């Protein structure tokens, strides 16, 4: 692996070896590759599967609800997937984004917050089957507290 290699215009194929590392293997590019040829080679089953996956993707896009909720020092931005009842949210506290969290709302999503200016917890959950709620128990360095259950969105 200490040999120097130069990159050419060939395609590199990755293969997983027994040590969970990836090794590169050079493959000659096909000169007469055409996307139309690939589509013609699909069997009826493969085409039906591709069509199904595309319809499923479009349905999920339609069933996704954008979340943009602010309350005090809390700002939640994300996407609620009504199909899977999952939430992908990026919470911010006093303007500081703490990352993106994704999980099932059937069990609830729980975040323990221990920042310089804010400490506490935030939990997201579903109530009454079609309402996204959050529970806050936050204490801000200035002495303010935010505690309670708040409805974010009805879907």
Domain range annotation of the chain: 11-60, 64-154
Measure CA of the first residue to CA of the last residue in the chain; give whole Å.
55
Question: Nearest-CA neighbor of 134 among 123, 126, 120, 142?
Answer: 123
- The rounded distance, in Å, linking the Cα atoms of 139 and 117 is 8
Residue 99 Cα to chain centre, angstroms: 11
pLDDT value of residue 93: 95
Residue 53 binned pLDDT confidence (cut-offs 50, 70, 90):
confident
pLDDT value of residue 59: 78
Tell me the C-alpha to C-alpha distance, in Å, between residue 26 and each of 17, 19, 20, 37, 74. 15, 20, 19, 23, 51
Q: Which of 20-34, 94-108, 116-130, 135-149 has the lowest mean pLDDT?
A: 20-34
Model confidence at 136: pLDDT above 90: yes
Tell me the C-alpha to C-alpha distance, in Å, between residue 4 and each of 1, 7, 85, 135. 8, 10, 50, 56
pLDDT value of residue 30: 61
pLDDT tens per residue, range 55-100: 888 877 777 899 999 999 999 999 999 888 999 999 999 999 999 9
- The rounded distance, in Å, linking the Cα atoms of 83 and 49 is 19
Q: What is the mean pLDDT of the chain?
A: 81
Q: Percent of the chain, pLDDT > 90? A: 50
Beta partners for 110?
Answer: 123
Q: What is the pTM of this model?
A: 0.61
Report residue 31 as tokens.
Answer: 């000169």
């Amino acid at each position: 692996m200490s040999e120097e290699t130069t990159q050419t215009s060939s395609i590199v194929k990755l293969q997983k070896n027994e040590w969970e590392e990836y090794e590169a293997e050079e493959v000659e590019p096909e000169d007469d590759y055409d996307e139309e040829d690939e589509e013609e080679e699909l069997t009826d089953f493969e085409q039906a599967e591709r069509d199904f996956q595309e319809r499923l993707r479009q349905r999920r896009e339609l069933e996704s609800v954008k979340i943009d909720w602010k309350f005090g020092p809390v700002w939640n931005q994300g996407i609620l997937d009504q199909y899977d009842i999952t939430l992908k949210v990026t919470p911010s506290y006093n303007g500081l984004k703490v990352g993106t969290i994704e999980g099932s709302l059937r069990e609830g999503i729980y975040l323990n917050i221990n920042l310089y200016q804010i400490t506490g917890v935030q939990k997201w959950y579903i109530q009454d089957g079609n309402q996204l709620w959050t529970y806050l128990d936050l204490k801000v360095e200035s002495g303010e507290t935010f505690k309670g259950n708040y409805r974010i969105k009805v879907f």
